[in-house]
A and B are shown apart, each in its own frame.
Chain A
Amino acid sequence: MLRYAVERLVQAIIAIFGVLTIVFVIMHLSGDPTLLLVPQDASAEMIAELRHQLGFDRPIWVQYLEYLGDLVHLDFGISVVQRVPAIDIVASRIPYTVMLATGAMVVAIGIGIPAGILMATKRGGWLERLLTAIVVTGQSVPTFLSGIVLIFVFGVTLRWLPTSGSGDFASLIMPSLALGAISMSTFARMTRISIIDELGKDYVRAGRARGLSLGSVVVRHVLRNASIPVITIAALEIGNLLAGAVIIETVFAWPGIGQLAIQSIQARDFLVVQVIVLLISFVYVLTSVLADFVYALVDPRIRLVR
């Protein structure tokens, strides 16, 4: 157990380090923020001067070593665009990202898993066809479209919900729905497949033979066994939801990490991007480790060894 934890930790550090290095190199090779910061009519000398002041004229490996050196001291640097510590900028966005991810997760699990169960147990009926239609729609409508449609219907036409913002609970509803829709479909499909898989097994037939109804077999026995793949998906989805809400956050003016990430990349605000990359890779690693532990809880046959 301890050995397992240590091994996973070492793997995680290597993975995060690798991601940081790749992002650092790609970002620096594709230009620096100086050109984006200066007014249009700045002369070449002025740009060179500012680039020098900001330190972007040094060789990339010098900048990289300096970055790593600061990182060791937990110094994440100061954003060249906002002139504020990069960690503060990212930290101020985390609560919004967590709120939106939670909202989307509630939508995804709350609708997706029951839908999956119904689709597996009521096969061939009208209910399955209806649910399949919903799942396919949720999966295939691009978020920039579903977001705008939601705003138009519930915001502009019906005036039930605020069109943008982040100040109150009502503002959270539409982005959660739009973001949760895709994960909802994934959960529904995964749950359906796992349950159908389990329903063909001997223990189900045995249960049915003892006179249990299909419903109680599913609830008492199948769900637990079918949950392993669903947990894997959940772990990946949490990572996706925390990192991948770029479009939804932009459409709804929701000030989360995704919006910050895309803006910082466009502005070549290196240090802010690095903090975000660090955070997201950390979340991915953490959720996959957590998923492993949850497997072991759900299914004692799984051991945490290699």
Chain B
Amino acid sequence: MSARIASIAAVLLALTASTTLAQTKDTLTIDLPGDAATLDPHLQWNTDSYTIYRNIFDNLLTRDASGEIVPQIAKSWKYLDDKTIEFQIREDVTFQDGSKLTAEDVAFSINRIIDPKLKSPQLSQFDQIEKAEATSPTTVKMTTKSPYPALLAQLVKLSIVPKAYVEKVGDQEFNLKPLGSGPYKMVNWQKGIQTELQAYDNYWRAKPPFENVVFRAVPDVSTRIADLKTGKADLIRDVPPDQTASVDGDSNSQVLSVPTERVGYMFINAEAGPTKDVRVRQAIAYAIDRDALIQSLLEGYGAPVNIVGAKPVFGYTDKVRGYPYDPEKAKELIKAAGAEGAKVEFLTSPAYNRAMVEAIQQMVNEVGLNVEISSSDQATFLKRRQGDPANAGGLALGAWSCACQDADGIIFPLFRSGSIWAKYKNETYDALVDKARTILDEDERLKLYEQAYEILREDVPGMGLYQAYALYGASKKLKWQPTANESMFVMDMGWQQ
């Protein structure tokens, strides 16, 4: 027996020794909640998919650490007129098969994603683009349907694919064997299990930091944390706030957090039910103690906001006053509206923090309403939330990010009448946000959004709760600064023994 223990100890010792002796980190392993649905960057737009494929492809533009839009494949750009923009394309970029990336590939990528035949779910992000054409091997001219200020912010999400390769192998094969110009090439994709990438040595920016990267699909968060603690994974995504202590308490692990452009908000139905009365909506706004929610349920990983929008977003303003936590005032308003004991349905799904839903239910009940929670799966939730106002419930939580860092991507879809999310109509508001999406003057746009946010404050068709933080668990040796748009570029990561 003791011999067996001794041999186990020897093996363990050997294992520890081999890891400490390693000079460089050969393979970086990242646990995500799911696998990529597609590796064709023009198809699925969900976090797991783009986290992986954006390491295989380069984008036309990107954002730097401070959130500014900066060149990537495009060297520079200029507006020829309000609807036409011309990009200069880099000349030193090659795809992973060695072929050169040209303006043709860029134009092809844009025209491919806006082609209805591709049936891309991402089309809505690019549908303002009319067409793109290569006017020289290094110049692309793009026309939009109308002046479109969010164009550059949307193009940050456009991956450049190789025209010749896609046309040769076809869309289906391209999805299974993607080829890009990014720092990593796909070597093995076990669908639903893991995706293995290998460094592309001729990458134009620099040599990628790790020779191999493996993205694993691990749906359960406790398992991801166990993987991190045992060294099976070096980086894991989506650590819930109440588990951060467990990660931080491990001597080899750390929590990496960053305030993001994502805003936690609550929808309040302004077109049906007791919340149709603006006094009831204002009462709900007074009834909610944001700081308590952030401190007790998010463990401080959140920052209170007065508007439906967070700091990294263009159009954010701190000039709009918030509703202070004032239950007495809320009770008066409910009484004035004659809504005491009125039933308000709170829609939710497993995608939302149940504890937060219940905490808000409690807070709102305390000021005299009767909140009932209706939980369903996400597809059913979306169908109701986006459907007929009478059936859309009175309240619902949301965590909104357009990954474009522009108010147009937030309060236009959420509150502009006619939009699927809006259960609210105010013509002055509509005119403001309509105008703000068709002019290019930044100061003018900022003023319009400030006015729009003022109106939302009075009408409360929804209220901002907090700026969400992205939470990652990582090995202490991983050097990485996560960004506000929640992307995970391995190229920006490093390793320190």
Contacts and interface: CB of A to CB of B under 8 A. Distances in A.
B324 interface: no
A41 B409 contact: yes
A255 B193 contact: yes
A83 B229 contact: no
Contacts of B34: 263
Contact of B379 (A36, A89, A151): A36
Given A40-B401, A46-B127, A253 B223 contact: yes
Contact of A54 (B119, B230, B400, B420): B119
Nearest to B121: A37
A50 B191 CA distance: 25
Contacts of A89: 191-192
A93 B218 CA distance: 15
Nearest to A79: B37
A44 B377 contact: no
A30 B193 CA distance: 28
B220 interface: yes
A40 B386 CA distance: 11
A46 B419 CA distance: 11
Interface string B351-393: 0000000000000000000000000011110110010000000
Interface in A6-33: 30-33
Of B171, B172, B192, B229, the most chain A CB neighbours within 10 A belong to B192
A81 interface: yes
Given A50-B123, A259-B219, A268 B409 contact: no
A255 B194 CA distance: 10
A166 B45 CA distance: 27
Contact of A44 (B193, B229, B418): B418
B198 interface: no
Interface in A136-156: 148, 151-152, 155-156
A38 to B, nearest CB: 5
Interface in B382-421: 382-383, 386, 400-404, 409-410, 412-413, 418-420
A266 B45 CA distance: 16
A123 B12 CA distance: 44
A49 interface: yes
Interface stretch (A157-165, A212-220, A225-233): A157-165
A155 B230 contact: yes
A166 B172 CA distance: 27
A31 B44 CA distance: 19
Given A82-B38, A92-B192, A253-B218, A35 B383 contact: yes
Nearest to B379: A31
Interface string A39-56: 111111011011001100
Contact of A49 (B116, B171, B176, B402): B116
Nearest to A96: B193
Given A49-B116, A156-B229, A165-B232, A251 B44 contact: no
B216 interface: yes
A253 B379 contact: no
Contacts of A287: none
A203 to B, nearest CB: 46
A43 B222 contact: no
A284 interface: no
B116 A53 contact: yes
A164 B218 contact: yes
B169 interface: no
Contacts of A53: 116, 119
A32 to B, nearest CB: 8
Interface string A238-281: 00000000000011110100011001001010000000000000
Interface of B: 12, 34, 37-38, 40, 43-45, 116, 119, 121-125, 127, 171-172, 175-176, 190-193, 216-220, 222-224, 226-227, 229-230, 232, 377-380, 382-383, 386, 400-404, 409-410, 412-413, 418-420
